[in-house]
């Protein structure tokens, strides 16, 4: 894949997720019956939150942006020092920066050197609450970083999986490593195996998609890794159910009834499975995939975000509807993160880039 194709795909992934998030945001807590009664038989087909036709992303995309920032800072550190391994701790610090933008006082003892450095923390557009998940807020306020071996709680909310796509983009050289890193970063805030394993599975799928594998193959590869982890059964069952429903509906559109069989998406394995169902069914039709993924009972913005990440990566940003891209609020921030993920790092062990260091200091 040449650099132009890579940039297009990575932008599609990050921008697509933000668009799906913004489309689903205003109907997140509404019943399907109410959505249909208010917006017509097809449900929401465009941005409806603001009167000027603009769409605004939520905490799902905010946290994804800070995931990307943490990974890029860690990658910069690894390039300069010639050693890696700090990405979980550095991403945890980025999540604390996100917590700061949510109006929570981050205790000095958990702040790292350079906590307020870098470009993302200075973006005032992110300093607003967009229905952040209680688990993420409370876990980060605890002053402890959760791990797989020392879980911070027993939550499997979808806050693990809606933020993890950048992990797959950064670690796309090895799906097994992408899975493991997705698990570790998810476990920072969510301690239930179905929560962090869903994050790992999506990271693996994103890694494979980013090197050109098709979605069915990417899912199969990820499931083989998943089955080697303890307590994988719940995630495996939901994703298998999504694949079976895709086959059952192969010659017709996915219905609300099909999505309801999986669940509502409030928990990680359901959100991932709903998103995979919509992405499998409309893998080259971004609009159809995302609108199907948001119009249901449940966590519409999270399923929209995850579906947008997946299908946006498959089709690239050039095949995302222009109207949705142009009317996304704060799209410049999202696009800059997408571009920078495609770059990875401008510094190397032999060549230090001062501007990149100021943007993504390696700590």
- CATH number for position 10: 1.10.4080.10
How do residues 132-175 score in pLDDT, each as one tens digit? 989 999 999 998 999 999 999 999 999 999 999 999 999 999 99
How do residues 84-95 score in pLDDT, each as one tens digit? 889 999 999 999
Percent helix, strand, coil in the chain (nearest 5)?
A: 65, 0, 35
Q: Which residues of 77-99 are buried (b: 16+ CB within 10 A; e: fewer)?
A: bbbbeeeeebbbebbbbbbbbbb
Residue 109 pLDDT > 80, yes or no? no
Rounded distance between C-alpha atoms, residue 16 and residue 40, angstroms: 24
Rounded distance between C-alpha atoms, residue 217 and residue 69, angstroms: 29
CA-based radius of gyration for the chain: 19
The residue whose two tokens read 């700061």 is 100
Res 319: pLDDT? 98
Rounded distance between C-alpha atoms, residue 161 and residue 196, angstroms: 8
Res 349: pLDDT? 79
The residue whose two tokens read 């050039």 is 318
Higher pLDDT, 331 or 348: 331
The residue whose two tokens read 């199907």 is 292
Mean pLDDT of 275-291: 98
Residue 338 pLDDT > 90, yes or no? yes
Share of the chain above pLDDT 70, in %: 100
Mean pLDDT of 53-67: 98
Quick check: helix, strand or coil at residue 46? coil
Q: How confident is the model at residue 80 (pLDDT cuts 50, 70, 90)?
A: confident
Rounded distance between C-alpha atoms, residue 85 and residue 79, angstroms: 11
Nearest alpha carbon to residue 137 among 55, 73, 65, 62: 62
End-to-end CA distance of the chain: 30
Task: Provide the domain limits for residue 171.
Answer: 3-359
Across all residues in the chain, what is the average pLDDT? 96
Residue pair 88/185 in contact (Cβ under 8 Å)? The answer is: yes
- The first and second tokens of residue 239, run together, are 């994703």
Quick check: helix, strand or coil at residue 223? helix
Residue 354 pLDDT > 80, yes or no? yes
Least confident of 65-74, 208-217, 346-355: 346-355
Res 205: pLDDT? 98
The residue whose two tokens read 């995850």 is 306
Rounded distance between C-alpha atoms, residue 257 and residue 361, angstroms: 48
Residue 269 has φ and ψ, to the nearest 5°, of -65, -30
Rounded distance between C-alpha atoms, residue 264 and residue 65, angstroms: 25
Q: What is the pTM of this model?
A: 0.97
Q: How confident is the model at residue 113 (pLDDT cuts 50, 70, 90)?
A: confident
Rounded distance between C-alpha atoms, residue 45 and residue 291, angstroms: 6
Res 53: pLDDT? 95
Residue 208 pLDDT > 80, yes or no? yes
Rounded distance between C-alpha atoms, residue 268 and residue 158, angstroms: 4
User: For the chain, how many structural domains are there in total?
Assistant: 1
Residue 2 pLDDT > 90, yes or no? no
Res 68: pLDDT? 98
Least confident of 3-12, 319-328, 337-346, 348-357: 348-357
Residue 1 pLDDT > 90, yes or no? no
Residue 110 pLDDT > 90, yes or no? no
E strand or H helix at 274, and its extent? helix 268-281
Residue 307 pLDDT > 90, yes or no? yes
Residues 6+ apart with CB under 8 A from 223: 201, 236, 239, 240
332-to-34, 151, 283, 355 alpha-carbon distances in Å: 33, 36, 26, 19
Residue 108 pLDDT > 90, yes or no? no
Residue 200 pLDDT > 90, yes or no? yes
Mean pLDDT of 328-338: 98
Least confident of 6-20, 73-87, 192-206, 279-293: 73-87
Compute CA 168 distance to the chain's CA centroid, rounded to the nearest angstrom. 10
Higher pLDDT, 305 or 131: 305
């Amino acid at each position: 894949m040449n650099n132009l194709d890579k940039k297009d795909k990575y932008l599609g992934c990050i921008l697509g997720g933000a668009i799906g998030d913004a489309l689903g945001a205003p109907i997140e807590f509404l019943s399907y019956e109410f959505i249909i009664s208010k917006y017509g038989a097809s449900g929401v087909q465009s941005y409806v939150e603001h009167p000027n036709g603009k769409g605004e992303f939520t905490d799902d995309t905010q946290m994804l942006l800070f995931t990307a920032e943490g990974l890029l800072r860690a990658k910069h550190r690894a390039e300069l020092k010639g050693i890696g391994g700090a990405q979980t701790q550095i991403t945890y610090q980025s999540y604390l920066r996100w917590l700061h933008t949510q109006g929570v006082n981050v205790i000095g003892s958990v702040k790292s050197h350079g906590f307020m450095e870098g470009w993302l923390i200075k973006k005032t557009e992110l300093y607003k609450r967009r229905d952040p998940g209680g688990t993420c807020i409370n876990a980060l306020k605890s002053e402890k970083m959760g791990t797989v071996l020392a879980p911070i709680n027993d939550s499997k909310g979808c806050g693990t999986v809606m933020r993890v796509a950048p992990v797959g983009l950064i670690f796309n050289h090895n799906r097994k490593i992408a899975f493991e890193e997705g698990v570790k970063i998810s476990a920072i805030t969510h301690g239930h195996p179905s929560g962090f394993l869903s994050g790992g599975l999506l990271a693996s799928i994103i890694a494979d998609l980013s090197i050109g594998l098709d979605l069915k193959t990417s899912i199969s590869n990820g499931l083989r890794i998943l089955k080697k982890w303890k307590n994988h059964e719940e995630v495996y069952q939901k994703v298998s159910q999504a694949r079976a429903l895709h086959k059952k509906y192969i010659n017709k559109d996915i219905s609300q009834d099909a999505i309801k069989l999986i669940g509502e998406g409030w928990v990680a394995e359901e959100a991932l499975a709903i998103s995979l169902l919509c992405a499998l069914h409309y893998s080259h039709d971004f609009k159809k995939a995302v609108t199907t993924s948001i119009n249901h009972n449940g966590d519409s913005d999270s399923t929209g975000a995850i579906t947008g990440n997946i299908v946006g990566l498959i089709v690239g940003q050039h095949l995302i509807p222009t109207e949705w891209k142009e009317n996304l609020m704060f799209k410049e921030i999202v696009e800059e993160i997408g571009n920078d993920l495609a770059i990875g790092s401008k510094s190397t062990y032999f060549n230090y880039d001062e501007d990149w260091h100021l943007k993504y200091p390696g700590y």
